[in-house]
Amino acid sequence: MTTGALIFAYNNDAFDYVSMAAWAAANVQRHLDMPVALVTDQPTDQTFDQVIIHASSATDTRWFEDAQQLASWNNSTRPDAFDLTPWDRTLLIDADYVVASDRLKTILDTAGDIFACHDRAQDATGLNDFVALNRLGAYDWPLCWATVMVFDRTRHARAVFDGMKMIRDHWPHYQKIYRDRSRTFRNDHALTIALNMANGHTGYHEAIPWSLVTVMPEHELSRIDQDHYRLTYRKPDNRRAWIEIKDQDFHAMGKRSLMSMIT
């Protein structure tokens, strides 16, 4: 059985996502010892084990807080991952996900078929309780995060990704059904709904058994050493504070800070 990572990266006017993906790929190769395939829409001279050219169908724009600008949001091809992955077991991660340990091996080395993702996230600083971010829509469903997924080439995984494609292609319909507050399609929301459909609306799903540690865009991230980072932020009384993150995987939502570390 082949095992590898898959990263989607489409550049926009605000950020070089392909460079982020190349840096993420090097971390994956170093800690998890597996090949990495990139999905993007243009040839690149960055180093990956495979490059899969797949057009972006993005129609959305979003405000990027840390860049202070509006830019295209190429966020709609993630549901195609099952069709595009060259691996039998796939680790699917965001380009801005920082692998700083081998902890994911505990999921990747699982025997039998698997489809796992995070079902809770936490602010690395502890300032935000993430109660709202961990729920979906007016019905308050627990949110499944598409930032990190591990899946096998199974009928169940196909059903989940087919469901995500259906939800993506008809998002206004599903947004009304689930009374979701976001009019913009999000992979997290599509994954949550698709997993519930594939599991018979039982609420059951396999979860990565630890929280998705998240660095918010308004916080400043810097690198002290390999796999050792400093996160600077302001407390509610406006005093500056910092914490260190060492040998800990995390989601770097602040793209500006991430780009400053890798370029």
Instruction: Map out the domains of the chain as residue ranges.
Output: 3-212
- pLDDT classification of 177: cutoffs 50, 70, 90: confident
Q: Residue type for 158, please?
A: R
pLDDT category at 194 given cuts 50, 70, 90 is: very high
Q: Looking at residue 200, what DSSP letter applies?
A: T
Higher pLDDT, 65 or 152: 152
Q: Which two tokens stand for residue 231?
A: 């996160």
Question: What is residue 173's predicted lDDT score, i.e. its pLDDT?
Answer: 92
The Cα 240–Cα 228 span in angstroms is 20
The one-letter code for the residue type at 228 is: H
Best CATH choice for the domain 3-212 from the list 3.30.70, 3.30.450, 1.10.3720, 3.90.550: 3.90.550
Give yes or no for residue 68 having a pLDDT over 70.
no
Tell me the C-alpha distance between 117 and 113, whole Å: 14
10 Å Cβ neighbour count for 149? 27
Give the three-class secondary structure for 108. Answer: helix
pLDDT of amino acid 213 = 96
